[in-house]
């Protein structure tokens, strides 16, 4: 890490402290050139894959967007904020298992439907009907009849 004052490359860590239950580290550093001190923060960053849409365009994955589509599907249903948060976390793990480079909106949609099917039937149908809007009816019915794969969600 370069010294922000004299830009010398050699700096020494003089103190290290875990923050926020261990998910970030605060480091106090000292420059070996000018002897000034500064602080750095190290946090975890997980790189999500790009999302390829039906029309071929790509966009970056956004957790807030995922959250709000789940919120909408679960509106006025007996599902807690914690449950939705856990679904998002599990979904992100599954998405990363598909690829860390690129996933399609279809792959994401299918995962969301599998989670919602286990969570709440009304939320599932709501999401599925919006999500499958542009696809044919047979496919939608098949989806409803579809496999009973259980995705483990901590409830």
Q: Using CB under 5 A as the criterion, which residues of the chain lie in contact with Zn ion when the complex forms?
A: 3, 5-6, 8, 31, 33-34
Residue number, 1 or 141, with CB nearest to Zn ion: 1
Burial of 133 (0-12, 13-18, 19+ CB in 10 A): exposed
Min dist CB 39 to Zn ion, Å, is: 14
Residue number, 3 or 123, with CB nearest to Zn ion: 3
Residue number, 36 or 65, with CB nearest to Zn ion: 36
Min dist CB 15 to Zn ion, Å, is: 17
Min dist CB 1 to Zn ion, Å, is: 11
Min dist CB 98 to Zn ion, Å, is: 45
Dihedral over Cα of 75, 110, 138, 54: its sign: positive
Q: Which two tokens stand for residue 24?
A: 């970030």
What burial letters (b/e) apply to 48-81, b meaning 16+ CB within 10 Å?
ebebbeeeeeeeebeeeebeebbeebbeeeebee
* Residue given tokens 């790189």 in the structure block: 47
Residue number, 26 or 37, with CB nearest to Zn ion: 37
Min dist CB 37 to Zn ion, Å, is: 10
Q: Give CA–CA dist 107/109, Å, rounded.
A: 5
Residue number, 5 or 23, with CB nearest to Zn ion: 5
Rg, C-alpha atoms of the chain: 22
């Amino acid at each position: 890490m370069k010294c922000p004052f004299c830009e010398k490359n050699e700096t020494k860590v003089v103190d290290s402290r875990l923050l926020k239950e261990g998910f970030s580290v605060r480091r106090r550093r000292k420059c070996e050139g000018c002897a000034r001190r500064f602080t750095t923060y190290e946090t975890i960053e997980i790189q999500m894959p790009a999302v390829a849409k039906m029309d071929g365009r790509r966009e970056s994955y956004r957790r807030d967007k995922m959250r709000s589509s789940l919120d909408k599907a679960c509106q006025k249903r007996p599902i807690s904020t914690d449950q939705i948060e856990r679904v998002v976390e599990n979904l992100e793990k599954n998405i990363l298992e598909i690829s860390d480079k690129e996933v399609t909106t279809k792959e994401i949609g299918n995962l969301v439907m599998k989670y919602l099917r286990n969570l709440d039937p009304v939320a599932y149908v709501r999401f599925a009907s919006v999500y499958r809007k542009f696809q044919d009816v047979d496919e939608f019915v098949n989806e409803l009849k579809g496999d009973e794969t259980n995705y483990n969600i901590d409830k």
